Amino acid sequence: MSRRLRLAAEWLALLLAYAALTGSAHPGNLALGALVAAGVLALRPPLPQAPLRRGPAAAALAALRFAARLAADIVRCGIQVTALVVHPRMPIRPGILAVRSGCRTPAGLALSAHAITVTPGELVVEIGRDGTFYVHCLDVEASARAAEADQARRCALLEGPGGGGEDAR
């Protein structure tokens, strides 16, 4: 996608977000939204462009699967942490676990960290220079058994076949 086309798509997305947030399709409001969107694009620092590693259809399908898993994790997470908090003895075994990210791109690293943090009982505290996640777990023994395999699955979904290989530096 050319730079101009990408900017136009981003501008349109910002304008639509503005229209949805203000809830008005009045021409004056849309004109103001167009100006605000252009201002945001002008002031925003340049974002790194990661090459698309698969076709648009496969990428959209993977994004949908990732979003569905994320939504399910958010619901499970809310319920599980609630059950722990209201339990009279609060059966937690906290600890911090080092988990190799295996991501090859900064976007994969960031989205993996986000997905781990919405996973029930897990929270990314720090990301090491070698791409290692330091994850705080409410049940460190249970998380230690599944963390590496879960991260490899997450990375493969985000970065396509071969994801989960050499770390992003």
Partner 1 sequence: MTALLQGLAIVAILVGTGFSVVAVAGYIRLPDVYCRLHAAGKVGVFGVTLLLVASVALGAQQPGKAVLLLLFLVLAGPATSHALASAAYRMGLGPRAARRNDLPPPPPR
**Alpha-carbon distance 63 to 163, whole Å?**
15
The residues in 42-71 that bind partner 1, with binding defined as CB under 8 A, are: 70
Tokens of 43: 């002031």
Region at 160 (left for phi over 0; alpha for psi -120 to 50; beta for the rest): left
Q: Which is nearer to partner 1, 88 or 161 (CB)?
A: 88
Site membership for partner 1, residue 130 (CB under 8 A):
no
Q: x/- site string to partner 1, residues 136 to 155, per CB under 8 A?
A: x-x-xx--x-----------
Q: Which is nearer to partner 1, 89 or 169 (CB)?
A: 89
Evaluate whether 137 touches 131 at the Cβ level (below 8 Å). Answer: no
Site membership for partner 1, residue 100 (CB under 8 A):
no
Neighbours of 54 (CB within 10 A): 13
**Alpha-carbon distance 140 to 77, whole Å?**
15
Relative to beta strand 122-127, strand 95-100 is unpaired
Site membership for partner 1, residue 118 (CB under 8 A):
yes
- Residues found near partner 1 in the complex (CB under 8 A): 17, 20-21, 23, 70, 74-75, 77-78, 81-82, 84-86, 90, 92-98, 113-114, 117-118, 121, 123-126, 128, 134, 136, 138, 140-141, 144
